[in-house]
Amino acid sequence: GAGVSQSPSNKVTEKGKDVELRCDPISGHTALYWYRQRLGQGLEFLIYFQGNSAPDKSGLPSDRFSAERTGESVSTLTIQRTQQEDSAVYLCASSLAAGNYGYTFGSGTRLTVV
Amino acid sequence: AQSVTQPDIHITVSEGASLELRCNYSYGATPYLFWYVQSPGQGLQLLLKYFSGDTLVQGIKGFEAEFKRSQSSFNLRKPSVHWSDAAEYFCAVVGDDKIIFGKGTRLHILP
């Protein structure tokens, strides 16, 4: 597609429920990144995928967070047993490859845990 | 580990005044540095980047930044701000094959 697409744009969920956030990168971009932006905070790195290599999961805050990517296309970020502190905007970005830092960001998913 | 520090959480300037947003980085070698802007309700947009070469980098919207290795700084400047520049600004550095962001500086513009 023309840009990075994220869905849903907004998600309200009850504490304890699982949520899935989706990211569609730009076609041909082999690297995909997830970041979290809490209210008034910077962007925290969560995870990144590069082609078929093992993902860099070093930023995932707990084992309730996981992500998958099918080949070089769609990625889903899953948060299990959501907590109120998970409320944030989750941003996805893609680039041509790891080492190419021309990131294109999606508009994000605003997650609210009530 | 690589990191960036933006010492100012909020900055307020009058429209037409000059602007400087501070950024300090922590990195052993020559860093790759960026400034991004995030306007209310909008996504992140790259203003400019420094990889090598001329230490004064020109970006979009009239912004520039200067890389100073001796001070580990990459400050963002604009000679005359416009009301539309009100936004959150993020300095960032590459570390471990990914971009690491600072906590941001929110710019407020007085009419």
Quick one: DSSP state of residue B55? S
Query: A48–B97: do the CB atoms touch at under 8 Å?
Result: yes
Q: Say which residue the tokens 């890389």 belong to.
A: B67
Distance between CA atoms of B25 and A19, rounded to whole angstroms? 35
Average pLDDT over residues A19-46: 93
**pLDDT recorded at residue B43:** 81
Residue A58, chain B, CB below 8 Å: the answer is yes
Q: Which amino acid is at A91?
A: L
Whole-number pLDDT of residue A70: 85
Residues of B with CB below 8 A from A47's CB? none
Rg over CA atoms, chain A:
13
Residues across chain B: 111
Whether A41 sits inside 8 A of B100 (CB atoms) is: no
DSSP structure class, residue A7: E
A37-75 pLDDT tens trace: 998 788 999 999 998 889 999 999 999 999 999 888 899
Residue A15: pLDDT band (50, 70, 90) is very high
Whether the pLDDT of residue A84 is over 70: the answer is yes
Q: In which residue ranges of chain B is pLDDT below 50?
A: none
Confidence of residue A101 (pLDDT cuts 50, 70, 90): confident
Q: Enumerate residues 6+ apart whose C-beta is below 8 A from A33.
A: A45, A46, A47, A48, A49, A92, A93, A94, A95, A103, B98, B99
- CA distances B80 to A6, A72, B63, Å, are 35, 43, 10
Q: How far apart are CA A38 and CA A32, in angstroms?
A: 20
What's chain A's average pLDDT? 93
Token pair of A67, please?
Answer: 């992500």
Q: B98 in contact with A at a CB cutoff of 8 Å?
A: yes
Nearby residues of B74 by Cβ (< 8 Å), 6 or more positions away: B23, B24, B25, B31, B33, B35, B50, B65, B66, B67, B68, B91
The answer, for A20 touching chain B at a CB cutoff of 8 Å, is no
pLDDT of residue B94: 87
B98–A45: do the CB atoms touch at under 8 Å?
A: yes
Q: What pLDDT, on the 0 to 100 scale, is given for residue A99?
A: 78
- Check A103 against B99: CB less than 8 A apart: yes
Q: What integer is the mean pLDDT of A2-23?
A: 96
Nearest residue to A31 via CA among A112, A87, A92, A78:
A92
Given this model, what pLDDT does residue A1 score?
54
Using the Cβ of A92 and the Cβ atoms of chain B, whether some distance falls under 8 Å is answered with no
CB B60 within 8 A of CB B49: no
Q: What per-residue confidence (pLDDT) applies to B42?
A: 75
Provide the pLDDT for residue A106: 93
